[in-house]
Every structure is written in structure tokens, then in C-alpha cells.
Amino acid sequence: MGERDVDAATAVSALRLRYAGEGDSDAGDRREHDVDAAMAVNATSTFGVVVVGGGVVGVSVAYALAREGVEVVLLERGRLAGEASFGNAGTVSAGHPPLNKPGRVAQGVRQLSDPTSPLYVKPRWDPELWRWLTRFATYCTDAHVKSAMEVLAPMGMDSLRAFEDLVGREGIDCGYHADGYYAVCETGDGLADAVDEAELIRRFGYKPEVLDARAMGEVEPALAPVAGGVFYPEAATLCPYDFTVGLAEAAARHGAVLREGVEVTDVLVGGGAASGVRLSDGDEVGADAVVLATGPFSLAIADRLGAAIPVQPGKGYHRDIPISEAGASDLRIACVLHEASVFCTPMSDFVRFAGTMEFSGLNHEMRPDRLAQIARAAGRFFPALGSAPPISEWCGLRPVSVDGLPIVGPLPHVPNVVVATGHGMLGLTLGPVSGDIVADWVLRDGPVELYRRLGPDRFGG
Ligand SMILES: Cc1cc2nc3c(=O)[nH]c(=O)nc-3n(C[C@H](O)[C@H](O)[C@H](O)COP(=O)(O)OP(=O)(O)OC[C@H]3O[C@@H](n4cnc5c(N)ncnc54)[C@H](O)[C@@H]3O)c2cc1C
């Protein structure tokens, strides 16, 4: 790293983070952290690294760098953890295979005409999406699943260690439970499919356990009779918003500067290297390196630097149902309803039901039929689920990469710009490890060989 403007960095790091509403009974405030980013990053500010994007990935990057003493500023155009990192299902699903797998395309085609299925593709003229889907299909092979698992499996193990470490060392209060989760199957076919997936995961060092119908009923009495399930002991659950903001607070304690409401429009480049970023108000922020952790957004910035990042927004939804007689049962377990791909995660005093994968572009339009898909599946698996109104209904956009692997590494033509996106359904799980991988790129010669496979150079360009 080059010289840094220590005074400027120190001045702007007077950011304060507060946790508001602890013990508050109001549902809206309960998960509200108040971030006061009053200090300005002005045109003369210079940092070691600018991180663009304050989701779980950008925050993890800022944390990893700040912990190593780098003067880092994180610029978020909205609020920290305001997008997918806010309302996801909160499962740390280590060892989970990629979305691409043999049979996925045929399954997808069948699901398109089924309103009860988790998949929805909005019928519309979107050549980029159809090109992406065609390319996605080319990765649905056994060979690709194997090579993806060679990376995802050790990444998952690293991720479990990272969560234990972070939550413990930084005292992040996010309802972290390392109790595993269950894939619960309604039908024999569903169970056969879940067992196949478990066998794959087992081959890569994890220890899933298959349960028959009776055992599954004993584990979770609130369940309707089911065909069986698979227990993933290595998984953990937490509140994703509390985790991300807690990690941001920890990054700030280590000296990171966090700014909300600051939009980056471009990376400043000269002679094949970045020297900072331009903001939407025309100001510039200098840096020795730039990290683009913008989720499915702002990918045009990388495109202008000669790297087309093959990511599509995959919309998912949640419904948070209060735990009460008229609402959700106080579930003993976290689980995914396998056939419906709906996650059920107990969080403090509510159960989060989350799922669906909707390809309809970059928008936050809530489609009632998608929320209904989640509600229907939840009601089928949990017959005692009452009609209490949800305390939150929400949608967020996953950054879904074309090959089911995160895209983390330097841009081929501007190597001091590192991209970290494309985590799809695993962004919470793989966020902290991605932060460490980015730190290896920025501060050292790059990560271990296996993680170098995640670079955007794998797509050419
Ligand atoms: C319903 C649902 C359930 C899920 N469940 C799980 C789960 O159980 N486990 C799991 O591991 N993952 C899960 N995921 C996926 C996970 O939420 C995402 O992969 C993850 O949140 C992506 O994080 P991110 O930081 O890359 O992106 P984001 O959270 O989208 O953050 C990117 C940030 O960048 C900011 N930004 C964009 N452009 C700019 C710009 N130009 N300037 C400044 N800021 C900018 C955005 O405002 C945003 O805040 C789920 C997702 C959904 C939708």
C-alpha cells in the first residue's frame, strides 16, 4: 500500500454507531440500529482502501482490512445492511452446493408453469437475462458441481470458523446458534433428492444425517407428518441484520470509516490503475485500492473497466410471523422445507419464513403470489400456524452468479480494483470468508490457490 493521509482518515473516523431499541417491544424498532455518519468524506479524503457497498460482503471486507490496520472507508449509498443482507433467512449453510446442477434446467422449466413453485421468471423482453439463463444452463453438469464443491466445501469450513471467531471475539449480539438445521421433506421423491444432496455434501467432508418420518416428527412436534429429513449439524443461524451491523460496529472500532447515503458512480483510473472513486455529487475519494461489493447493483462500474460480471438479481422474500398462539409455534429447530425451498428460522420472538427465486430485473416490487407461495408451504408443513399478521413482509435481491460461485478477485485490466459479489443464496454464509480473501488480494499476493479460482478472470475479458 502507498502513503496514506492519516490525519484525514482519523478525522473522518469519528463516526459513531449506536444500538437503539435494545429490549424494545416494538417490532419495527427491535432490529433498528442507528448509524450516525455525520462526518463528511470530502474531496480531499484519501484512504488505503475504498469499499463500495455496505452489505454483509462489503462490511466483512471493511472489517478484515481494518483489523489489519488498513485505513479503510466503506461507502454505502443507502443504509448499512439495507438490501439482501437485511432480511435473508439467516442460515450459515456451510458446504451447500451451487445452484447450478444437472436437471436444474428441466426442473426450472416445469416450475415456470407452477404458481406453487419457488421459481418465478417474469415473462418480458430481457435479452441479457435470457443470455444469462442460457449460460447458467451450461454450468448445470456433474463436472461443474464437483469443481464448485472443491471450493465451496472448504470455504464453508473456513466460514464456520470465521463466524465462531467473529461472534465470540467481537461480542456480536445477533442470536447466533450453532445448532445445525434440517432439510424437511414432504414426499418420498423430495427425500430422495435431499438424500442425494446430502451424499454429495458428505463426500466433501460434512456429516449430514438422514432421518426417517418418525425421527423427524420427534425432533419437531410442530411439523405435519413428513417423509423424513436430513440434519446438517455444521450449520448455524443468526439474525443477518444484527450480525452485519454488529460487524460494522466492530470494523469501526478497528478504525474503519463507514458512510451511509454516499453513492459511488465510477472508479477513477489512470495508467491501468485505480486512484479512487467518484461520488454522485461529483466529489472524489482517493485510495490505493477499491473494492466493489455492490451485490447485484452498480455492475456497470466494473463493466466500464472491461469486466462484465455475469450476475443477475434473484429476488427472494420473507414473512416474519410472531411466535404466539395465533401465529407461529416456538420451533425447536431451524429448517428448510425442501420441496418448497422455504427456510424457517426462529429469531428471538418470531419465525422467519423466507424463500422464492424470482428473476424479474432490478426492482423491489413485492408480488403477492410469491409471498403466498411461502405462506402456503409454511401452512402445509406447520398445520398449527395461525393467521396472526406478519410483523414484516420484505423482498431483497440476491446477487446470483452464472456459475453458482462467488466472484471475488481483482479485475483483469485494473488489478487494484477487487470485486466481491455473486454470492447468490450464500452471501451471509460466505461473507466473512470473502472479506478475508479480499484482504489477501489487497495486502498480500492473493489467497490460497483454491480461492484464486473465484476471480472474475474465470469468465475471460
Ligand atoms: C430471501 C433471501 C434469503 C436468503 N437466505 C440466505 C441464507 O440463509 N444464508 C445465506 O448465506 N444467504 C442468504 N441469502 C443471500 C444473501 O442475503 C446475499 O447473498 C447477501 O446478502 C449479499 O450480500 P452483498 O453484500 O453482496 O449484497 P447486498 O446486501 O445487496 O449489499 C450491497 C450493498 O451495496 C450498495 N451499493 C450498490 N451500489 C452502490 C454504489 N454505487 N455506491 C454505494 N453503495 C452501493 C447497496 O445499496 C447495498 O447495500 C438470502 C437472500 C434472500 C433474498
**pLDDT tens, position by position, 69-79:** 999 999 999 99
State whether 247 and 353 are in the same domain: no
How many A from CA of 295 to the centre of ligand 1? Answer: 5
- The Cα–Cα gap between 71 and 48 comes to 5
Q: Give the per-residue pLDDT at 31.
A: 39
Q: What is the pLDDT of residue 338?
A: 97
- Phi, psi for residue 185 in degrees, rounded to 5: -120, 130
Q: Are residue 159 and residue 202 in the same domain, yes or no?
A: no
CATH number at residue 322: 3.30.9.10
> Does residue 18 belong to any structural domain of this protein?
no
Whether the model clears a pTM of 0.85, i.e. scores above it, the answer is yes
The confidence score (pLDDT) of residue 184 equals 98
- Closest-CA residue to 333 (of 226, 177, 458): 177
pLDDT value for 22: 27
Rounded mean pLDDT, 416-432: 98
C-alpha 188, offset from chain centre = 31
198 and 91 in a common domain: no
- Residue 168 domain flag: yes
> Looking at residue 25, what is its pLDDT?
31
pLDDT-based confidence at residue 33 (cuts at 50, 70, 90): very low
Query: Which residue is closest in CA terms to ligand 1's atom 53?
Result: 316
User: What separation in Å is there between the alpha carbon of 385 and the centre of ligand 1?
Assistant: 29
306: Cα separation from own chain's centroid: 25
Q: How far apart are CA 455 and CA 144, in angstroms?
A: 16
| Segments in 78-235 forming alpha helices (H) | 84-87, 104-112, 127-138, 142-170, 188-203, 213-219
Note the pLDDT tens digit of each residue in 270-316. Answer: 999 999 999 999 999 999 999 999 999 999 999 999 999 999 999 99
Q: Mark which of 401, 422, 450 sits at the end of a domain.
A: 401
Point out the domain boundary residue: 386, 401, 416: 401
Lowest mean pLDDT among 31-45, 246-260, 332-346, 392-406: 31-45
58 lines ligand 1 (CB under 6 A): yes
Check whether 20 has a pLDDT greater than 70.
no
Contact 459, 421 (CB under 8 A): no
**Cell numbers at 263, concatenated:** 453513492
Among 75, 77, 285, say which to mutate for ligand 1: greatest number of ligand atoms within 8 Å of CB.
Answer: 77
Contact 292, 418 (CB under 8 A): yes
pLDDT at 104: 84
Give the containing element (helix H, strand E) for 429. helix 427-443
Q: Is residue 54 part of a domain?
A: yes
Residues 207 and 268 grouped into a single domain: no
Mark whether 329 and 378 lie in a shared domain: yes
169 burial class (0-12, 13-18, 19+ CB within 10 angstroms)?
A: exposed
What is the pLDDT at residue 379?
Answer: 96
Structural domain count of the chain: 2
What would the 3-class secondary structure string for 139-152 be? CCCHHHHHHHHHHH
pLDDT at 46: 73
All cell numbers assigned to 29? 424498532
Q: Say whether both 131 and 171 belong to one domain.
A: no
Residues 220 and 124 in one domain: yes
CATH classification at residue 456: 3.50.50.60
Q: What is the mean pLDDT of residues 46-71?
A: 95
Q: Are residues 258 and 226 in the same domain?
A: no
Please say which residue of 361, 381, 401 terminates a domain: 401
> How long is the chain?
461
Q: How far apart are CA 446 and CA 443, in angstroms?
A: 8
Residue type, 80: L
pLDDT at 55 over 70: yes
Mean pLDDT score of the chain, rounded to an integer? 90
* Residues forming beta bridges with residue 228, ordered by sequence position: 185, 212
241 and 230 assigned to the same domain: no
Residue 179 or residue 13, greater confidence: 179
Q: Are 95 and 156 in contact (CB under 8 A)?
A: yes
> Which DSSP symbol is given to 94?
T
C-alpha cell at 209: 444425517
Give the pLDDT confidence score for residue 7 in this predicted structure. Answer: 28
- Domain membership of residue 19 (yes or no) is no
Identity of the residue numbered 167: V
Note whether 286 and 330 are within 8 A (CB): no
| Mean pLDDT (whole number) for 1-18 | 27
Q: Is the CB of 295 under 6 A from ligand 1?
A: yes
Domain membership of residue 385 (yes or no) is yes
Residue closest by Cα to atom 37 of ligand 1: 294
17 part of a folded domain: no
Domain span at residue 72 reads 46-101+141-180+237-309+405-461
Q: Is residue 24 part of a domain?
A: no
Q: Per the structure block, which three cell numbers stand in for 262?
A: 454516499
**In testing the pocket of ligand 1, which one of 79, 80, 83, 163 has its CB within 8 Å of the most ligand atoms?**
83
Q: What confidence category does residue 143 fall into, taking pLDDT thresholds of 50, 70 and 90?
A: very high
% of the chain beyond a pLDDT of 70:
90
Give pLDDT, residue 45.
Answer: 66
Cα dist from 59 to 143, 170, 248, 397, whole Å: 33, 14, 6, 17
Has residue 11 got a pLDDT over 70? no
Q: What is the mean pLDDT of residues 196-200?
A: 97
Q: Average the pLDDT over each of 124-133, 344-353, 383-392 and give the range with the smallest value.
A: 124-133
261 and 339 belong to one structural domain: no
Nearest CA to ligand 1 atom 35: 53
Does ligand 1 have an atom closer than 6 angstroms to the CB of 294? yes
**pLDDT band per the 50, 70, 90 thresholds, residue 99:** very high
Considering only residues 319 and 348, tell me which one the structure prediction assigns the higher pLDDT. Answer: 319
pLDDT of residue 267 exceeding 50, the answer is: yes
Asked if residue 354 has its Cβ within 6 Å of ligand 1, the reply is yes
Looking at the predicted structure, is the pLDDT value of residue 36 above 70?
Answer: no
Cα separation, 116 vs 123, whole angstroms: 17
CB half-sphere exposure, 340, CA atoms < 13 A: 25
Q: Over 90: is that where the pLDDT of 245 sits?
A: yes
267 alpha carbon – ligand 1 mean position (Å): 21
What is the model's pLDDT at position 376?
96
The verdict on 174 and 304 lying in the same domain is yes
Q: Is 22 inside a domain boundary?
A: no
Residue-level pLDDT at 15: 25
Same domain for 187 and 255, yes or no, is: no
The pLDDT score that the predictor gives to residue 16 is 22
CB 456 within 8 A of CB 309: yes
pLDDT band at 116 (very low <50, low <70, confident <90, very high): confident
Check: CB of residue 334 under 8 Å from CB of residue 345: yes
